[in-house]
Structure 1
Amino acid sequence: MTDETTTADDQLALARDIDACCRLTGEFTLRSGQVASEYFDKYLFESDPVLLGRVADRMVDLVPPGTELLGGLELGGVPIATALSARTGLPALFVRKKAKEYGTCKLAEGPDVAGRRITLVEDVITTGGAVRDATRELRAAGAIVEVVVCAIDRSPADVNPLDDVQLEVRPVLTKAELDAVHG
């Protein structure tokens, strides 16, 4: 078995395990107000130390050279960024949805971001709204943000939902890969 085959087999196994753990059926009201018969509960893999570790292991090679900080987005990106930080030795930064209105009034908890190259870390990207907002805020604070690594990219194939903010998306898994193993 070659390394390439092993990697493909590992990817397929991870997709199967994540799908089996996280895809729920029933009646779910989505953020948009629409009702769906299927829901993907990403917190189920994030709270499982083995699955979280496997995702973080796959993310290591997605982090671009020159990254100084890993910016985990509230809430789902925080455990992934922490696991990834432990594997890479890069410091983690915890990025809030909006700056605190008390104490330090920070958007990002951890080291100073000004002039630093930050790779954002997110659990699932569909439209990229939270990532887009964080990118704009961090750049306004002087950070260099060019890449987001995510566990799952649920956007349509061949579409980068973050092109408008010139942000490259590097996923561990895609919606197509999860749909292909669902059965």
Structure 2
Amino acid sequence: MDACCRLTGEFTLRSGQVSHEYFDKYLFEADPLLLGRVAREMIQVIPQDTELLGGLEMGGIPIATVVSSITGTPALFVRKEAKTYGTCKLAEGPPYAGRRVTLVEDVITTGGAVRDATRALREGGAIVEVVVCAIDRSPAGQNPLADVGLEVRSILTKADLDAVRAARA
């Protein structure tokens, strides 16, 4: 995955931080074999009591869709903010009030989008305790979402990808 999606240059992240590396998740999400592999690995860390998979706009949606298809767990597509037209929904899919939603995200660095989604879904009555992600870029040993009581379960960390890259060099 590292060879597929790690880009070098100067990139401004959602958090406003500037990084010399960027993990372009769309490069692995657009590859059906790699996306399937990520989804199968993610299934191993999803809590057993999950009732809905909350794919975050936009990168978490393809992963949540594939995981949903494999497991039969319904998916919920979570917007960055509620629509201002039509149904005015924050999340598309089945009702989520009173249900256990495991969030699905592609890459987490500071967790800003996940934090916002967690708060909004909880305000709507969802039980949100875990987020699973493909790549956790946050500093080793730190949970960037501890402030909202969210457990982060990742498939790969930046340290994992760095180790693979170093071994190949």
**What is residue 118 of structure 1 aligned with on the other side?**
101
**What is residue 100 of structure 1 aligned with on the other side?**
83
**What is residue 49 of structure 1 aligned with on the other side?**
32
Select 1:40's aligned residue among 23, 36, 43. 23
**What is residue 132 of structure 1 aligned with on the other side?**
115
**What is residue 10 of structure 2 aligned with on the other side?**
28
How many Å separate the matches in 2 of 1:140 and 1:33?
Answer: 28
The CA deviation at 1:37 is 4.0
How many Å separate the matches in 2 of 1:170 and 1:181?
Answer: 20
Residue-by-residue CA offset, 1:19-58 (whole Å, 9 max, x unaligned): 0101123x33313273x54322111001100000000000
How many Å separate the matches in 2 of 1:71 and 1:38?
Answer: 27
- The one-letter code sitting in structure 2 at the alignment partner of 1:144 is I
Select 2:144's aligned residue among 161, 165, 170. 161
Percent identity of the aligned residues? 73
The CA deviation at 1:156 is 0.7
Structure 1 runs, 4 residues or longer, greater than 2 Å off: 31-34, 36-39
**What is residue 73 of structure 1 aligned with on the other side?**
56
Q: TM-score, normalised by structure 2?
A: 0.94
**What is residue 180 of structure 1 aligned with on the other side?**
163
**Correspondence 1:85 to 2:68:** yes
- The one-letter code sitting in structure 2 at the alignment partner of 1:107 is L
Higher Cα Rg: structure 1 or 2? 1
**Correspondence 1:152 to 2:145:** no
Secondary structure of residue in 2 paired with 1:62: coil
Say if 2:11 and 2:21, in contact at 8 Å, map to a contact too.
no
Q: How many residues align?
A: 164
How many Å separate the matches in 1 of 2:151 and 2:44?
Answer: 15
**Correspondence 1:109 to 2:97:** no
Q: TM-score, normalised by structure 1?
A: 0.87
Structure with the bigger percentage of helix: 1
